[in-house]
Structure 1
Amino acid sequence: MNHHLLLIIHLLSATIWVGGHLILTFGHLPQALKTKDQNIILNYEKKYEPVGMSALVLLVITGILMAYKYGVSLDYWFQFASPIEKVISTKLLLLFLTVAFALSAQFRVIPKLKSNPEKLAEMAFHIISVTIIGVLMLVYGSYIRFGGI
């Protein structure tokens, strides 16, 4: 697939993923915490999850394909040898961290949050963490334009 098309899909997916989490963090989370209403978060998650998770899958696929186009194949992941490889490896580590937070939220926090608003603080930690990670991934990705870090 053409690199430019991969980049466009990657950027649109990043817009959905990071933008959705920024809306959640700054638009819905403060109100949920203030009113102690977990349904604000749960309702947003229910609407956003199909689109957000699709965007995340596209981010992973296009990111890996673009990494290969930059000559950073699986053999070079996590060696941190070249500037481009440093960016890609860092983004992969951040992706693994995102997946860990997502699994924790999905299987541990959200089931308890449905019946216990006291879990809002823990969910807020997950939301803010994933949002910060998403923004960091976006920033690291911008370094590709300059040849890496």
Structure 2
Amino acid sequence: MSHHFLLIIHLLAATVWVGGHLYLSIGILPTVLRDRNASRLLRFEKSYEPIGMTALVLLVITGLWMTLQFGISWHQWLSFSSPVERITSAKILLLFLTVLLAVSAQTRVIPRLKQNPAKLPEMGLHIVAVTVIGIAMLVLGSFVRYGGI
């Protein structure tokens, strides 16, 4: 598959993933925390999850595929040995952190939000962390055009 086509899919998926989390962090979270009511947050999560998770899967697939097209085999991942490989390694580590935060949110925090509004600040930290990670991954990816970091 053409690298340019993969990049377009990757960028569209990043738009959905990062844009959704920015909207959640800036548009929804402040009101939810102020009102101490998780219902709006849970409605957003339920409606965004199918498209957000699809975007994340597409990001992983296209990102790894493009990495292979750059000649970086999976044996080199996390070796930080070349400029583009440093970006790949950093993005893989940030992806693992995102997955850990998602598992924590899905298994520990979200199930308790309806009954316990005291979990809202913890959920807010998860949301902001995933948003910042998404932005960091976007910025790192932009450096590939310049040969890496």
Under TM normalisation by the shorter chain, which class is it? over 0.9
CA distance in 1 between partners of 2:60 and 2:50 (Å): 16
Task: State the partner residue of 2:128.
Answer: 128
Q: 3-state SS of the aligned residue for 1:76?
A: coil
**CA positional deviation for 1:115:** 1.4
Structure 1 stretch displaced more, 20-29 or 107-116: 107-116
Aligned match of 1:28: 28
Deviations 1:72-97 (A, max 9, x none): 11010011010000000000000000
In structure 1, the partner of 2:110 is 110
Measured in 1, the distance between the counterparts of 2:114 and 2:62 equals: 34
1:13 is displaced (CA, Å) by 0.1
Separation in 2 of the partners of 1:94 and 1:125?
16
Residue matched to 2:140? 140
Show the counterpart of 1:59.
Answer: 59
Aligned to 2:127, the other structure's residue is in SS state helix
Separation in structure 1 between the aligned mates of residue 77 and residue 20 of structure 2, nearest angstrom? 28
CA deviation string 1:4-59 (max 9, x = no partner): 00000000000000000000000000000111111111010000000000000000
Taking structure 1 as the reference length, the TM-score comes to 0.99
Residue in 1 that maps onto 2:44: 44
1:102 deviation in Å?
Answer: 0.3
- Alpha-carbon separation, structure 1, partners of 2:141 and 2:131: 15
CA separation in 2, counterparts of 1:40 and 1:118? 16
Give the drift of 1:130: 0.2
Over the aligned positions, Cα root-mean-square deviation in angstroms equals 0.5
Distance in 2 (alpha carbons) for counterparts of 1:44 and 1:87: 31
Matches of 1:63 and 1:121, distance apart in 2: 32
Tell me the number of residue pairs that the alignment of Structure 1 and Structure 2 aligns: 149
Contiguous gaps of at least 5 residues in structure 2: none
Q: TM-score, normalised by structure 2?
A: 0.99
- Structure 1 stretches of 5 or more lacking a match? none
Partner of 1:75: helix, strand, or coil? coil
Instruction: Write the letter of the residue equivalent to 1:9.
Output: I
How far does residue 116 in structure 1 lie from its aligned partner after superposition?
1.0
